[in-house]
Chain A
């Protein structure tokens, strides 16, 4: 009860502080002193404290199972383990918006502390733009998604959290993803501030690059966690399904990656100023669209959107206000800096980074069209369609070939004007890649030519970055690690794609299922009782072609609140391959439906994404850009 009130009033105080902060900082803009008024900093800190207080009181209500709170009632249950009571806080619409707000205020406070060497007006304007976003979110939370609504009479038991969300990976996935999403808000506000101050310069790029990197790292890891979760929890036996919910997180990642590259051009060569600003605006807009689309349910259909028209309309208006505001500022204030050294030769680092950006924009438009087109079509013609994975694979895979080749050559080029050095070793590496590819995949696939070229390009990048890691010729280790990670990612995905095998069958207890020299034996089942679910554990023995026997124990869980049946896959992971077994119950039948998959190099997909993020991390802690 009390926690509810504390939470609610902290939110209102936070909103009032936002307004106050705007007033104080506008006044401070006209002051001639070189440093920001101390009050601004303390007010910003106070705001953060109130949002934290509000968030903590929601967590407190969840821990105490205080069902007088509507959000807790809808998403929690007394028998749930403590860990999932806490993670349930952000496992729902209201709580996750509160988390957004928390990260927004946290980041602007950190920004103020970390940017002391920057011009005062620029810092204040960043704060102002960020406060516009923050006020929007405060209003959104308070008006349409208040996490502290009362329920009376107080129910004695909650409705429970959807069991598939009761999972360690998914407990930390939202906070990490949000750190990435919301990190882009700082990039957005600061690029707008920089535009108005005509400060889109080398110094600015150097300082904002850190924020770009931080967001990028969190976003990358956040997406990976979601993907790992989908792999073992949903039981579809893959890591990426081109599901709209996944796509919306990939879109800001693509623009952020593009930004990460072209900010370097700005930092070193003071070129591409408008492009950097446009990318910053786009990235944040896409992040916001992503969160809202997922949370408002619009992605399942436009109709669920209409369930709560207030939310949808608020989102749309807020988004439009932000877009118009930012574009307006961009066109009014932005001046192309004529003094910048805009001349560069066609063979240079600048051009190679531009090419990277062009590819990113292409990938973005493919994902965007595939995700938005069904929504669009439903609105205008109420025809219902879905766009499947073949669409994305067909449009992205061929373009990966030039992308990988440019990625191998680009980092070796110099600024302004360059020539390709070391041609012989490049050619040798290329020939090795092609031969290796041909040797490996000649018996594996029907589309030999296409795959040979694609694999060769991936191997080419793999060898070149590997060589550089050991010889350290170009010395930019963080970038090499990230690119190496990317080549590894592409290779593992490709091998995983063409070598995976799958057996689906219905089987009774005690039965054996044989297929080309392998055998699946369903030994027995065991039942077990936990506090919030009953589980059926099945024992399977699987003999592979070489006669090696492993035991897999997939599980079916029947949760009590809400009553939902979930399957827990059992996975044996080795460096070479994952063996994946998931079992489903068909009601009222003695048959169990099983899906057994052998997925080569699965673990390398996660490792390579970690390598990518490691590259980002190394770049973040690098003192200065190395020559």
Chain B
């Protein structure tokens, strides 16, 4: 009924459509797997179930809470309402200091202990990650 050319074009279009759908599906799927959520200490306290996935925790490094030995750095992140202990062995950014904002990435051990795999570097002392600003309120 249809010419050969029309048929070819139809197959071509169908092929493109299918591959586009497949690709969109693929992208969304891996997006779901690789997204890291941000939470404040208070939000973690109010969790009902512990998340097994990687998350980010942000807030202030509590004064006089940093302890360091040859393979670990321990400190407390606070949002002035709740706090959480962080255990970290890795490179510490220069702007990491007591009383400054911080974002740590890693896994929750329980509601009070967080094992960090990365502490995010900030390039500017005046800059505070917006997430942190929000987490500690207008202080």
**Chain A contact residues, CB within 8 Å of chain B:** 162, 164, 234-236, 300-301, 303-304, 362, 365-366, 369-370, 373, 383-388, 390-391, 394-395, 504-507, 556, 562-567, 582, 584-589, 591, 593, 595
Contact = CB atoms under 8 A, between A and B. Distances in A.
Nearest to A385: B35
Contacts of A504: 89-91
Contacts of B35: 385-387, 391
Contacts of A365: 23, 27
A506 B131 CA distance: 29
A235 B91 contact: yes
B21 to A, nearest CB: 13
Interface range on chain B (Cβ under 8 Å from partner): 35 or more
Nearest to B39: A384
Contacts of A562: 125-126
A74 B114 CA distance: 38
Nearest to B54: A388
B124 A162 contact: yes
B31 A387 contact: yes
13 contacts: A235-B91, A300-B127, A365-B27, A384-B131, A385-B38, A386-B38, A391-B33, A395-B27, A562-B125, A565-B94, A584-B92, A585-B94, A591-B69
B91 A595 contact: yes
B98 A587 contact: yes
Given A365-B23, A387-B35, A504-B91, A589 B125 contact: no
Q: Determine which residue in A384, A504, A562 has the highest number of CB atoms from chain B within 10 A of its CB, and name it.
A: A384
B37 to A, nearest CB: 5
Q: Determine which residue in A304, A556, A591, A593 has the highest number of CB atoms from chain B within 10 A of its CB, and name it.
A: A593
Nearest to B37: A385
Contacts of B33: 391
B71 A506 contact: yes
A556 B93 CA distance: 12
A362 B89 CA distance: 37
Given A506-B71, A507-B70, A586-B68, A593 B130 contact: no
B30 A162 contact: no
A28 B119 CA distance: 61
B53 to A, nearest CB: 11
Contact of B23 (A362, A391, A507, A556): A362
B38 A587 contact: no
B17 interface: no
Q: Determine which residue in B27, B69, B127 has the highest number of CB atoms from chain A within 10 A of its CB, and name it.
A: B27
A593 B26 contact: no
B87 interface: no
B73 A586 contact: yes
Contacts of B121: 234-236
Given A162-B123, A565-B94, A505 B129 contact: no
Nearest to A513: B70
Contacts of A385: 35-38
Q: Determine which residue in A162, A586, A591 has the highest number of CB atoms from chain B within 10 A of its CB, and name it.
A: A586
Contacts of B124: 162, 564
Interface of B: 23, 26-27, 30-31, 33-38, 56, 66, 68-73, 89-98, 121, 123-127, 129-131, 133-134
B130 A303 contact: yes
A507 B36 CA distance: 31
A507 B89 CA distance: 13
Contact of B30 (A394, A563, A589, A595): A394
A582 B91 contact: yes
A388 B93 contact: no
Contacts of A234: 121, 123
Contacts of A584: 91-94, 96
Chain A at the B interface: SS class? mixed
A291 to B, nearest CB: 18
Chain B at the A interface: SS class? loop
A183 to B, nearest CB: 28
Contacts of A301: 129-131
B73 A593 contact: yes
B79 to A, nearest CB: 14
A584 B91 CA distance: 8
Nearest to B133: A303
A371 to B, nearest CB: 12
Contact of B92 (A387, A388, A593): A593
A164 B123 contact: yes
A562 B123 CA distance: 12
Nearest first, the 9 closest Cβ-Cβ pairs linking A and B are A301-B130, A391-B34, A384-B38, A595-B91, A565-B94, A593-B92, A303-B130, A385-B35, A587-B97
A251 to B, nearest CB: 15
A589 B27 contact: no
A339 B66 CA distance: 74
Given A300-B127, A565-B95, A595-B91, 19 more contacts: A235-B91, A236-B91, A300-B130, A301-B131, A384-B37, A386-B36, A387-B34, A387-B36, A388-B34, A394-B30, A395-B27, A504-B89, A506-B70, A564-B95, A565-B94, A585-B94, A586-B92, A587-B66, A593-B92
Q: Determine which residue in B30, B38, B66, B69 has the highest number of CB atoms from chain A within 10 A of its CB, and name it.
A: B30
A216 B13 CA distance: 32
Contacts of A366: 27
Nearest to B92: A593
A506 B90 CA distance: 9
B86 to A, nearest CB: 14
B129 A300 contact: yes
Contacts of B31: 369-370, 373, 387, 391
Contacts of B98: 587-588
Contacts of B123: 162, 164, 234
Contacts of A585: 94
A506 B92 CA distance: 10
Nearest to A373: B31
Given A303-B130, A593-B92, A506 B30 contact: no
B94 A304 contact: no
Contacts of A303: 130, 133-134
Contacts of A370: 31
Nearest to B127: A300
Given A366-B27, A394-B30, A584-B92, A304 B37 contact: no
Nearest to A511: B70
A394 B34 contact: yes
Contacts of A566: 94
Contacts of B90: 504
Nearest to B32: A391
Given A304-B130, A385-B38, A506 B94 contact: no
Contacts of B130: 300-301, 303-304
